[in-house]
Each structure stands twice: as C-alpha cells, then as structure tokens.
Amino acid sequence: MTKEGAISPLPDIQPLKSIRECKKFLREPTFHHVNKPLINGKMKTAKHPNDEADLPEEDSKPPAKRPRRKAALKSEKLIAGMAEEDDDVKKPPAKRPRRNKKAALKSEEPAEDDDASDQMNKSKKRSSKESAPIPVDAMVNVMEFLPPRSLYNIALTCKSLREMVTTKMVVQSALIHGGNPSKSMTELHSLMRNHSIHVPSPLRLLRLANGKRCEFCLTSGTNHVRPGLGVFACWNCVVSGKQGRWNRGYSRNSGSSSSIKLTKAWKTSWVRYRKNPIYRTILSYSRVASNEYGTNHYFWSEHRCDANGERVGPLVTWGDVDDLKGYYDQLKTAAAAKEAAAANSTVDSATTSNVAAADNGNDNEEEEEEAAPSLSNGEWIEYYLTKNLNAPPKENYAEFNETFTNTVQMADRISREREELKKSKRDDKMQTKVDKVEKILDDLKALINEPFRERAMKACGKEKYLKSGMSSNQCMFLETPFINAWLAPYIKSPSKMTKKAMKEMAEKINVEIERIEKLLEMDFLSDDDDFEAAAKIFFRECYPDVEALYTCHSSYHGPTNMMTEEFVTLIQGGRFIGALCYLQTNNLSPILLVTEPSASLAQASKYLDETSLKKLAKIAWYQTNTSSCALFQDREDDSWAAEAFAAGHKFFGEAMAKVDKYGAWLEGKVDEDKRPAFLNKIVMGYWYFDDFMKEEDFEKIWKNNARLVRS
Ligand SMILES: [Zn+2]
C-alpha cells in the first residue's frame, strides 16, 4: 500500500478554482485515464473497469493512452473542420509524453528520503485532500454553464466528454452568451419551428455556434447561420456557387465536380405554376423551406451532407418541388381509379391492392396495402417527406425548440442585464475620468495668472461626452485652442498629469498669457506711421479686454476665438501685427478703409454706400495678395504689413477713381437717381467688378453689365 500511497496523490490536479482551471484540468492526461484517481477509491467510471487491476503500475499508463489519443485526434480533426482553433488539436499530444515522464519519474522517487521529494509529496497530498477530482458525469453540470467556445474546447478533449454534449446544452449556452452563436440559434429556430430542415446533431449545433468560416468554401469569413438555409454558408456560396472541394467531395447527388450554387430559384412566373394550383400548396407548406424574393422562391439546390456525413440544410430541394407535384398527380389518379372501381360495384380486393401498390410508388412494394395519404391538409406532403426525403419525425425537433423557447426569455433578460452592467460600468468610468480632469483643471487654474485665469481654463463639452457613451473621446475641451492643444494628452489620460508636469504647464501657459496681454496693449505700434496709427486705434477698439479676444468671432457653435498654436507661434516670433492679423482672419481691410483719404471717400460716396465701400476695401486688401495667410506667416518680420497696406491703398484709390469716371460716363444712359444703385451692384457682384477693373473701354463695360440696371 505504501507504493500505492505514493502514487495516489495526483501530481497534476490542482484544486479547481475557476472554469478556466477546470478546462485546463480536463486536458491533463490523468483525468482521462482514471486509473490514478481510482487508487483513492474516489472516482470510478464505467469506462475502465480493468484499470483497478493494473493500477499500481505506472507502465500500464502509456499503452492505454496512445490508442485513445489517436482515435481522439481523428475525431477532433473532424470537429475542428469548421472552427479555426487548430491549436487545441495539436497541443495535447505534445504535452502528454512530457507529463507522463514526469509522473513516472515522480512515482519512482518517493522511496528515497529526499527532502525535495518529501515536500513534493506534501503538496501533492494537500492538493488531493482539498479537491477530489470531478467525476466525469458531474462534468455535465459544469458544461451547462460554459460559453459556446469553451464547450467546444471541452468537446475536443475526449470522446466521453464529447458524447456528453447535448442539444439543450448547446442551445442554452449559445443563447445565454449572446452574440453570433445566439443569432445562429435564432436563425435555426425559425426553421426548426417549421420542421423544415434536417435536425442538426448536438455536435453539429456546437460547430454552428462556434463557426468562423463558410463550411462550403472554407475561406470566406461568416458570422452566423444563413437565414432560411440553416447552414454555415457565405453569401458567395449561396448565390454564385464558388464552393469547391467540399461540394465535390460530399455532394450526394451530383457526380460532377462543377461548382453548384447552394440555392436555385423556383419561379412562380412559370406557366406550370399558374396552371397547377397544387404548386401553391407545396410552396406554402410549412416544412417546405424557401426564401421568397419577388416571383422567385430560392430553394436548397440539392441534398447535401456536411463534412461528417450528416444531412444538412432544408428537407425539400428545388427538384423535389416538381417531384412532389408528380406524386400528387399520381395519388389523384389512383384515387380517381379507386372511385371508378367502387362505382363499378364489382369490389375486388385484388384491384384495391393493386391501386394501393401504385399509390405508394416505386419502392414500397413489399408494404401491405396502406391507406393512401389524404390529399388534404398537406398529409400527403408529410407522407412523401418521410418516405422519400428522410424527413425526421417531428418529435426530433422538440428538444431544440423547447430549449429555445424556454431559454430565449431568460437569455434576453441576461443579455439586457449584461448590457446594463456594461453601460453602468462605462458610465462610471467616464464619470471618474471627468472628475479627474475637472480636478486637474481646477488645480491648474489656481496656478494661472489673472486676468486670464477664469477664461483661459474654461472648459466645455462634459455633458456631451457623458451622453455620448464613447469613453475614448476627449471628455472636455478648453475654450482656448492653444491651451486645449497642450492639455489634450492629459485630458485624454488624466493619470499622466503629475505635479511636475502641472507646474511646467502652468508656467508655459503663463508665459503665453503675459505675451498676449502685452499684445493687447498695442504699444508696439507707433503713432507716427499712418498705417500703424490707424491699426492701433482699430485693434484697441477690437480688443479692449480679454473677453473681447474670446468673443470677436462667432461660428456655428457660438462665439469662438483664434488663439490657436499658430497665433502663439506668431507672438513668440515677435510678429505682433501678424498675430493680430491672424486674429482678424487676415482681413485688415477696415484699417484700409479708415485711412483712405477722406476727400476721395466723400466724392465716391456720391455713388457707393457703406456696404459697397467695405466690400471694396476688402477686395483691395486681398487684391495685393501680400496679406494672404501663407505670405505673412512665411515672412520673417512684420514689414509686409506696410507694403500690403500701401498696395491696397493704391488699388482702392484706382478703383474709386474708375467708379467715379464710369459714373460720369453713364450720363444719358442711366438716370441720375438710378446710378448709385447700379454702381453698387457692380461692386458687390464679384464677377462684374472683376470685369470692370480689367476692362479699359467703358463701352464694353457697359455692354457687359447694362442688364444690371434692369435687374
Ligand atoms: Zn463559402
């Protein structure tokens, strides 16, 4: 017994703490070969009654194992046909020999008084005390709670476990764990409910629940069972029939290797449909599955089996529709003949039996005279399906359908709860993030100098973020674009913000703020220069305080400001006019307008109103092109401004003069009182003004824009 005692503690079996461990546990070699546990007398299965006899010998293990492994591998390969996880198939055999050696080594050691082996023994004993191995039968209870993928993995481990998988188990697992497996079950149910497909075996169901690729072409990714067909097929295989090797090898009827579409259209536009009302009965019978689309009924093109030789897909194929009709005709003729015979009153048993034999068709000759199926209520279709198409009896569908209806509500509730839990977790996470960011902004605010403190650190978008449910979005936005850009990494992941980083950030912001304050004083603009003096007055009016910086522009989202990183770069480079120009979205035409010689303005205003003048100034400012974004930002200093100003002035003056001249020229063509409106129209119309400035000949200008007088 001492030797047995030494062997009996299971070296590989640890206390089961989780399903994951349980799965691991199931892969251990000792589990399948219950000889070891049997020593303790704790575990016994009917599978290996002989194990007890040769139990103490370690040598008995390997020979018992190897044949099983190979057999298991074969069937595992079959199972793995649809799902992708090849690893599971390949791993165990690599593991086992190693384990066995170890186990063998260990079992030889205990005779020695080795400290290490003693310790090992202790731990082994402890583990065996804490957890008795689970009896294989009890695995059913564990398996019922596993998600489809784990159930599949378990089914791969050994034959006895594979045999334990039931339809109920798979349907429940798939429905409760949701996602594509659940969708597959729902699609299957709509067919199973009508008893219109071959009943999938539990293992096929399990494959359907875990499928990743089309079972026909084995290449296209597929998510769930194809609606209306109950097979795991990609759309290509359904409509264009690109499936290759699978179809060739397993298709029952077709000897040809040509690829055949999984579905075929049966058209209600055909004459035979219109002439024979019985087709209507056939097509609408519940066990006849087809997908209706317009006048087409798409039928399962031919009878097929899956890779394991199991019948798959709808019971009734395209060809069966006409066969059914033929059968109906046959029954009808027979019935008519019978009636005629009865009418002849010479009732002869021989004739009746002859008729009955004719009724039953070709292969039922040995059957006794069976009453021909009734031609109403689809009874004859039922009869035909059972006799000729191997349709399973309706009770075979019961387990699936019952489990489905019993579980679907619970599954709904569970998935709803899961969804809610997920949402509340996400909401909590988002709220925590918002809180963290708010704290960072508050802390940072305390370090920012006045008068910007409040304004610069103002953030928005919190509510929108919380409502969005997208936790990865930036949860808040600072109203100052350049500060927002600098802080964005910290707003996205608040944990990055350290005390040091915050201090540095505050300093960085303060430096910029000081610069902006200086800018707002406008002391860098001299009073002597025409342009600069005008600019000074203009900008001071535009930006009397900090608030004005934030509200000087309005956009679709409300007041906005131009304090971007580009703006900051301009200030950093001492390009103050450039920066101000940037704030004005590069439009300094108002300055141009106020500095225009008043004499000329007064004269011009005889014709042009204020709007037109502003427009003209804008055109003049942009006309020079000196002020375009690219130009002023590429310059090294602000000298461009004076140039642009001068050039704009020149253009403005010329344009005014020309308008005046043209106005005078119009004497006799346009009435005095209509002339200002006419000229304003020319200035406001971009195309007309362009033409007006380019063309020297007033006659031609008049020809081009005379119609403006009338419009
Ligand atoms: Zn395919």
Range of the domain at 23: 2-132
* pLDDT 10s digits, 190-238: 999 999 999 999 999 999 999 999 988 888 899 999 999 999 999 888 8
CA–centroid distance, 205 to ligand 1, in Å, is 18
Dihedral in degrees, nearest 10, Cα atoms 326, 330, 335, 341: 160
Give domain status of residue 140, yes or no: no
Give domain status of residue 70, yes or no: yes
Residues 703 and 571 in one domain: yes
**Distance from C-alpha of 33 to C-alpha of 332, rounded to nearest angstrom:** 62
CA–centroid distance, 703 to ligand 1, in Å, is 70
CA–centroid distance, 230 to ligand 1, in Å, is 14
Residues 597 and 669 in one domain: yes
Give domain status of residue 172, yes or no: no
CA–centroid distance, 301 to ligand 1, in Å, is 15
Long-range contacts of 89-92 (CB under 8 A, 24+ apart): 89/156, 91/27, 92/27, 92/157
Torsion angles phi and psi, residue 641, rounded to 5: -65, -45
From 132, 155, 182, give the residue that closes a domain: 132
Give domain status of residue 667, yes or no: yes
CA–centroid distance, 211 to ligand 1, in Å, is 12
Cβ partners under 8 Å of residue 538, min gap 6: 588, 590, 591, 594
Residues 577 and 508 in one domain: no
CA–centroid distance, 413 to ligand 1, in Å, is 34
**Distance from C-alpha of 623 to C-alpha of 620, rounded to nearest angstrom:** 5
CA–centroid distance, 475 to ligand 1, in Å, is 44
Residues 125 and 14 in one domain: yes
Cβ partners under 8 Å of residue 458, min gap 6: 478, 479, 480
Cα 342 to Cα 47, 332, 345, distances in angstroms: 63, 15, 5
Task: Calculate helix-pair angle for 318-343, 349-359, nearest 10 degrees.
Answer: 170
CA–centroid distance, 232 to ligand 1, in Å, is 8
CA–centroid distance, 396 to ligand 1, in Å, is 28
CA–centroid distance, 222 to ligand 1, in Å, is 8
498: its two tokens = 């350290």
Cβ partners under 8 Å of residue 179, min gap 6: none
CA–centroid distance, 153 to ligand 1, in Å, is 24
CA–centroid distance, 421 to ligand 1, in Å, is 37
Tell me the three state secondary structure of residue 553: strand
Residue type at 500 in one-letter notation: K
Residues 531 and 495 in one domain: no
**137 DSSP β-pair partners:** none
Segment among 172-186, 291-305, 475-489, 593-607 with least mean pLDDT: 593-607
CA–centroid distance, 137 to ligand 1, in Å, is 38
CA–centroid distance, 180 to ligand 1, in Å, is 17
**460 DSSP β-pair partners:** 477
CA–centroid distance, 243 to ligand 1, in Å, is 6
CA–centroid distance, 45 to ligand 1, in Å, is 43
CA–centroid distance, 244 to ligand 1, in Å, is 9
Long-range contacts of 54-57 (CB under 8 A, 24+ apart): 55/4, 56/3, 56/4, 56/7
Q: What percent of the chain has pLDDT over 70?
A: 71
CA–centroid distance, 259 to ligand 1, in Å, is 11
The CB-side HSE value for 355 (13 A sphere, CA atoms) comes to: 21
CA–centroid distance, 538 to ligand 1, in Å, is 72
428 vs 616 pLDDT, higher one: 428
CA–centroid distance, 219 to ligand 1, in Å, is 6
Indicate the pLDDT class of residue 84, thresholds 50, 70 and 90. very low
The pLDDT, as a whole number, for residue 131 is: 66
Burial 34-63 (b: 16+ CB within 10 A, else e): bbbbbbeeebeeeebeebeeebbebebbee
CA–centroid distance, 85 to ligand 1, in Å, is 19
CA–centroid distance, 149 to ligand 1, in Å, is 22
CA–centroid distance, 566 to ligand 1, in Å, is 54
Q: What percent of the chain has pLDDT over 90?
A: 19
Tell me the three state secondary structure of residue 314: strand
* pLDDT 10s digits, 269-306: 999 898 888 898 888 898 998 888 888 999 998 898 88
CA–centroid distance, 99 to ligand 1, in Å, is 41
Give domain status of residue 55, yes or no: yes
**553 DSSP β-pair partners:** 560
CA–centroid distance, 233 to ligand 1, in Å, is 5
Average pLDDT over residues 530-536: 81
CA–centroid distance, 320 to ligand 1, in Å, is 24
CA–centroid distance, 392 to ligand 1, in Å, is 27
Q: Sign (positive/negative) of CA torsion 618, 620, 622, 627? A: negative
Q: Dump the DSSP string for 242-306.
A: ---HHHHHH-SS--S-S---SEEEEETTSHHHHH-THHHHHHH-TTS--EEETTEEEEE-S-EE-
Residues 509 and 527 in one domain: no
Torsion angles phi and psi, residue 702, rounded to 5: -60, -40
Give domain status of residue 495, yes or no: yes
CA–centroid distance, 217 to ligand 1, in Å, is 4
589 vs 507 pLDDT, higher one: 507
CA–centroid distance, 237 to ligand 1, in Å, is 4
pLDDT exceeds 50 at position 418? yes
CA–centroid distance, 602 to ligand 1, in Å, is 82
CA–centroid distance, 234 to ligand 1, in Å, is 4
Segment among 33-37, 137-141, 600-604, 691-695 with least mean pLDDT: 33-37
Give domain status of residue 593, yes or no: yes
Torsion angles phi and psi, residue 430, rounded to 5: -65, -40
CA–centroid distance, 408 to ligand 1, in Å, is 29
Residues 547 and 510 in one domain: no
Give domain status of residue 25, yes or no: yes
CA–centroid distance, 214 to ligand 1, in Å, is 4
Tell me the three state secondary structure of residue 475: coil
Of residues 264, 304, 239, 10, the one with CA closest to residue 131: 10
The 10 Å Cβ neighbour count of residue 308 is 15
CA–centroid distance, 168 to ligand 1, in Å, is 28
**CB-CB contact of 231 with 262 (8 Å):** yes
CA–centroid distance, 397 to ligand 1, in Å, is 27
CA–centroid distance, 81 to ligand 1, in Å, is 14
DSSP conformation class of 560: E
The pLDDT, as a whole number, for residue 239 is: 85
CA–centroid distance, 111 to ligand 1, in Å, is 61
* pLDDT 10s digits, 359-376: 444 444 444 455 677 777
Q: What angle do CA 136, 142, 147 make, to 5 degrees?
A: 130
**CB-CB contact of 93 with 73 (8 Å):** yes
* pLDDT 10s digits, 105-131: 444 444 444 454 555 555 444 554 566
CA–centroid distance, 185 to ligand 1, in Å, is 20
Segment among 521-535, 554-568, 658-672 with least mean pLDDT: 554-568
CA–centroid distance, 241 to ligand 1, in Å, is 8
CA–centroid distance, 171 to ligand 1, in Å, is 24
Residues 332 and 461 in one domain: no
DSSP conformation class of 200: P
Tell me the three state secondary structure of residue 466: helix
**CB-CB contact of 327 with 380 (8 Å):** yes
Of residues 370, 351, 348, the one with CA closest to residue 361: 370
CA–centroid distance, 374 to ligand 1, in Å, is 41
From 132, 158, 187, give the residue that closes a domain: 132
35 vs 402 pLDDT, higher one: 402
CA–centroid distance, 478 to ligand 1, in Å, is 52
CA–centroid distance, 347 to ligand 1, in Å, is 59
Indicate the pLDDT class of residue 35, thresholds 50, 70 and 90. very low
CA–centroid distance, 172 to ligand 1, in Å, is 27
Residue type at 329 in one-letter notation: D
Residues 504 and 548 in one domain: no
The pLDDT, as a whole number, for residue 247 is: 46
From 458, 483, 514, give the residue that closes a domain: 514
CA–centroid distance, 246 to ligand 1, in Å, is 10
Compute the chain's Rg from CA coordinates.
44
Indicate the pLDDT class of residue 674, thresholds 50, 70 and 90. confident
Residues 529 and 508 in one domain: no
Alpha carbon 668 to chain centroid, angstroms: 73
CA–centroid distance, 242 to ligand 1, in Å, is 7
Torsion angles phi and psi, residue 285, rounded to 5: -70, 140
Residues 582 and 704 in one domain: yes
Residues 509 and 526 in one domain: no
Q: What's the domain count of the chain?
A: 4
**Phi-psi sector, 41: left (phi>0), alpha (psi -120 to 50), beta:** left
**CB-CB contact of 484 with 477 (8 Å):** yes
CA–centroid distance, 263 to ligand 1, in Å, is 12
CA–centroid distance, 471 to ligand 1, in Å, is 37
**Distance from C-alpha of 488 to C-alpha of 476, rounded to nearest angstrom:** 9
Burial 270-296 (b: 16+ CB within 10 A, else e): eeebeeeebbebbbebebbbbbeeeeb
